[in-house]
Amino acid sequence: MPTDDITATRQTLLDRVESSDTPRDVLRAPELKKLYGAIGSLPAEERGAYGKSVNELKVALEAAIQAREAVLDSASIEPIDVTAPWDLNSTRPALLPTTQGTQHPLTKELDEVIDIFTRMGFAAIESRQIDDDFHMFEALNFPENHPARDGYDTFRTEEGFIPPAHTSTMQHRILKDGKETLEKGGHIAAISYGRVFRNEDVDATHEHTFYQVEGVFVSKDATLGDMLGTLRSFFEVYYGQSLKIKTQPGYFPFVEPGLEFAIEKPAALGGKPGEWLEMLGCGMIHPNVLRTAGIDPSEYRGFAWGGGIERLVMLKYGIEDLRHFEAAKLNFLRKFA
């Protein structure tokens, strides 16, 4: 009886799906072909019902195959205990994805920068990612409607807040917090690092979002020479070699004098003698900036600097396009693992 054949074959084939690593092969089993082949030899009045039963069997097989494939797929994925602590001290570290990921090159290099400055005695604080007009401009001696404000291509929220366009937004806070230390005879030494945002068209050397590091030092007798020595030491440690440096005048409302600081591109990094690279802006903190933070400029003097992290890193590793950093390309990111 052909219907009995179907029942027997059905069980055989479903069992086979359950035990197979390649369950889809069952759809090509000779037993199934035989059932289909029998249709033509049946009397016309039996064909309809028989054909329908064979099709039902095929639908049942298809469902069983999909269920079996799902079981096989999930068995090949390493189980993750989502409640496990996110650290390497786990008793089951193999279950943690930390063994597979790597730190992003920018945060890795930023850690290196922070490390160098903290070893020089600077405190390190992260900058804010949302700020206001006072910290972005006013406290830094940009009066209202000052044309230098335009140079910062600043975004604003509808409420008037500002995603900061430079880490200098942290200067006023650092100065105010350090005032007491100064009055006790100490000095202020801090860096501030973090993301900054500008309304820029993106190309190989411009991003709307990038990282900066700002430095502030204030004492009774800070000099421009101290600043140049501090910056030179930083760059020499970061690039692991001695460097030639030079400065030229630069205008920033919050420093007087203001300078642009350049290093000669090291031969080891593909530079030719006389090839200068501008790395950051710096200068002696403007008396108005000290005064706004409650520090008497006739008693204390300070220097400040600020510059981008990407530029440092690009020079160190010969990266030619800034956009690589945010492109999420694994072959780029793995070079820094």
User: Which of 142, 261, 305, 325 is the binder for ligand DAH (CB under 6 A)?
Assistant: 305
Name which of 17 and 284 has its Cβ closer to ligand DAH: 284
Q: Which stretch binds ligand DAH (CB under 6 A): 107-115, 131-139, 218-226, 302-310?
A: 302-310
Tokens representing residue 62 in the block:
């298809």
Does the footprint of ligand DAH cover residue 168 (CB under 6 A)? yes
Stretch that binds ligand DAH, among 40-48, 86-94, 112-120, 251-259 (CB under 6 A): 251-259
Closest CB to ligand DAH among 62 and 226? Answer: 226
Q: Are 293 and 179 in contact (CB under 8 A)?
A: yes
| Per-residue contact string for residues 221-250; x = within reach of ligand DAH by CB under 6 A | ------------------------------
User: Does 23 contact ligand DAH by CB under 6 A?
Assistant: no
d(CA 210, CA 311): 10
- 3-state SS of the chain? CHHHHHHHHHHHHHHHHHHCCCHHHHHHCHHHHHHHHHHHHCCHHHHHHHHHHHHHHHHHHHHHHHHHHHHHHHHHCCCCCCCCCCCCCCCCHHHCHHHCCCCCHHHHHHHHHHHHHHHCCCEEEECCCCECHHHHCHHHCCCCCCHHHHHHCCCCCCCCCECCCCHHHHHHHHHHHHHHHHHCCCCEEEEEEEEEECCCCCECCECCEEEEEEEEEEECCCCHHHHHHHHHHHHHHHHCCCCCEEEEECCCCCEEEEEEEEEECCHHHCCCCCCEEEEEEEEEECHHHHHHCCCCCCCCEEEEEEEEHHHHHHHHHCCCCHHHHHCCCHHHHHHHC
The residue from 217, 231, 306, 314 that contacts ligand DAH (CB under 6 A) is 306
| Binding track, positions 173-212, relative to ligand DAH; x by CB under 6 A | ----------------------------------------
The size of the interface with ligand DAH (CB under 6 A), counted in residues, is: 12
Closer Cβ to ligand DAH, 54 or 216, answer by number: 216
**314 is a site residue for ligand DAH (CB under 6 A):** no
Nearest approach, Cβ of 207 to ligand DAH (angstroms)?
13
Name the segment binding ligand DAH (CB under 6 A); options: 86-94, 127-135, 277-285, 318-326: 277-285
Site string for ligand DAH, 147-166 (x = CB under 6 A): -------------------x
Q: Candidates 106, 222, 255, 314: give the one binding ligand DAH (CB under 6 A).
A: 255
Q: Does 281 bind ligand DAH (CB under 6 A)?
A: yes
The residue with its CB nearest to ligand DAH is 281
- Interstrand relation of 209-219 and 188-197 (parallel, antiparallel or unpaired): antiparallel
Q: Using the rule CB under 6 A, is 282 a contact of ligand DAH?
A: yes
Footprint of ligand DAH (CB under 6 A): 166, 168, 214, 252, 255, 258, 281-283, 304-306
